[in-house]
Structure formats: structure tokens, C-alpha cells
Amino acid sequence: MDIGIPKESRAFEYRVGLSPAGAEILVQSGHQVFVQHEAGLGSGFHDHEYEKVGARIVYSAEEAFGRANFVLKISRPLKREIEYLTPGSILAGLLHLPSCSQDQIDSLLEKKITALAYEQIADQDGRLLVLQPFSWICGALLPQIAARFLQNDCGGKGILLGGLPGVPPAEVVIIGGGAVGFSAAKALVGAGAHVTVLDEKIEKLEKLAEQLPGVVTMISTKRNIERATAYADVLIGAVLVSGQRAPIVVTREMVRAMKPRSVIIDVSIDEGGCIETSRPTTHENPIFIEEGVIHYCVPNIPGVVGRASSHAFLNAALPYILAIANLGMVEALRQYPALEVAVNTFDGKIRNLARLNSRAG
């Protein structure tokens, strides 16, 4: 296959769709790899590292997309980038299509693009195999984000996340006990915070209680969410329903009842957000204040640790990328069932996207 690696064009996205190590493996398997000039720079990978392993450098996004029948990205392509795609080609990335505009979906369908959403690749137990390392990274970053916006100079309450002898730590409430929630709870406990995790599945709470003694666990009923948000200094929304927009689990009324200058971090913003008052922000302007509460709603949190994220991504995604390149999409789907649930569009039709299935022709 001809494989394209465009430079990520969204602001503050430092990751790259394939590292030089991954390019080397694909080249050795007989594939052509076209890497856009400086595509890997944000992750610390230089053009000469790609050339050394046999990849070819191209000097425009149009060429990186247009010369490929299999495009590897991280963030969802912009509308102009979808126009560069060759009809009938394969696009893989963290696409988050349930939260994108309908015209982008229409463009993918019109060009009969096979859109593979990395965030939906899952085994029979529902584990999100490629998203998981990004979730771990995101969880590990949350303590430093929370600590920063609790500071007075950032508009916060002036609370030390881990407390001091004689001074209690911050109360952190996490809604969602999946990979992000678990990773965040582990990191926040390590930072000394007092952590409460809510989830609708008792199995996840049992795992948390067993592996992280001291974490308070609660079933995420509306009443329990109301109680927990009312005492939270930091509220983390980490709700994910694969292939769907994140459900709203925290209402505006609940936010209004929170303590003034507390902090909300809505990690679910990639899927539209799980908190009613959330709206996307950027790493440059990461917060806004709504109902007297600081909101941090940056969609691509792991994007600012590009090198670590790109290495972690390669470890998780390479077997599937290699299978598609070597076998073709149809045979890869047959041999790798985890891919089947991640195909969002195929041959002009919608698949595995609950929000959009009703619109499929």
C-alpha cells in the first residue's frame, strides 16, 4: 500500500500518525510511506530519521493525503484535508465522528472513504485497545492540571491538591471508572488528593477499591452525582460510550450548586462533553468560568506530550495498521474482529456510529 503521514494541522497537536520506527516496519513489509515535511517534529522526530528507514518526504498536505490509499493521522482531519483524500482510500485516526459536523460525514460518504476510528478498536470485553494508552497519559496529566487551576493566580480557591499536615487535601470527584478514571484516580491518590470515583458498573468500582485502597466509590446515580459534585473541589468528567456522543451526566443545576471557584475538567469533551456547561477550549486558552466554576475542556490533552504519546500509540496501534496494509481492509476485518467495531464509514455507508445510523442512506 501507499501510506500517507500528514502533518497534524490542529492547534497544539504535537503527535504524529507514525513514528520512524513504525515507518521502518511498514517499508520492510514492502509498502511506500510518504511523510509530510516536519510531520514528526512536534514529537522530536526529524525528516532524516524517516528518510533513513526508507520513507519519502513530501512537501504538502495535499501530496501526503493524495499519494496515499491508506492515511494515518492522529486528530480528525479538517474539511479541506478530507477533500485531499483519494476516493475509496482508508483513513485511520482518533476521529471522534459522533461529535463532528454532518458535512464532514457527508464528505467521507461521498468519497467512499473507509474511516477507522482508533478510539473504537475494542476486544470482546470492550477494552479500547488503542485508546487505552492515551487514556493512561491523560489520567497521568490530570493532577498537574487540577493543581494548577486550584491556584489563586489561575482563579482557583488556593487549595493545595495534596494538603499538608493539619490542612486537608482537595476533594476530587471522578465520574467514570474506565481507563481515564482509573489512571487519574491512581495519579491523584499519589499526589495526596482525597478521591471519589462514580461509575454505573459495580465491577469497575470493585477493581478500583481493590487496587486503590482509600478511594471512595459510589454508583453513579443522579442523587449520588448531585451529592458528590456539591462537595468537589475538582470534578473530572471521564464518561465514554464508544461510537456515541458522551451522555450529559452533570446538569447546569449541579454545576450551579458546586462551590465557587472549584474546577471542572471535562475529559469527555472529545465526544461532546458529559457536563452540560462544557464547551471546547484549547491549550492556549484552556479555561472559562460558567456558574462561578472554572471549566477546563481541552479536547486533545495528551497532544502536548507528543513524543510519549506517539510512542505509546505505536505500541498499541501497529499490529492493526500492519494488518490493514498487508492484508487489505476486508481481510483485516475478517482476521481482526477488534477492527470491525471501529469502522465508521465503509463504501459510502455509515457503520458503528449510533448518532448517525438513522441518517444512513
Fold agreement between 2-121+306-359 and 131-303 = yes
Residue 103 is a catalytic residue: no
Q: What is the length of the chain?
A: 361
CA dihedral 280, 286, 290, 295 (to 10 degrees): 90
Q: Which amino acid is at 8?
A: E
| 199, 266, 270, 295: the active-site residue | 270
Residue 270 is a catalytic residue: yes
In the chain, % helix, strand, coil (3-state, to 5) comes to 40, 20, 40
CATH 3.40.50.720 fits 2-121+306-359, yes or no: yes
Residue 240 is predicted with a pLDDT of 86
Alpha helices by DSSP H, listed for the chain, are 20-28, 47-52, 61-66, 79-84, 102-110, 131-150, 179-190, 202-211, 222-231, 252-256, 306-327, 329-335, 337-340
Give the pLDDT confidence of 300-311 residue by residue, as tens digits: 899 899 999 999
| 31, 96, 194, 295: the active-site residue | 96
Q: Which of 314, 312, 305 has the alpha carbon at shortest distance from 21?
A: 314
What residues does each domain of the chain span?
A: 2-121+306-359, 131-303
pTM of the predicted structure, to 2 decimals: 0.85
Q: Are 261 and 292 in contact (CB under 8 A)?
A: yes
Helix axes of 306-327 and 20-28: crossing angle, nearest 10 degrees: 10
Question: DSSP secondary-structure letter at 45?
Answer: -
Q: Which residues of the chain have pLDDT under 50?
A: 355-361
Residue 359 is predicted with a pLDDT of 39
Q: Within 13 A of 279's CA, how many CA atoms are on the CB side? A: 6
The CATH number of the structural domain formed by 131-303 is 3.40.50.720
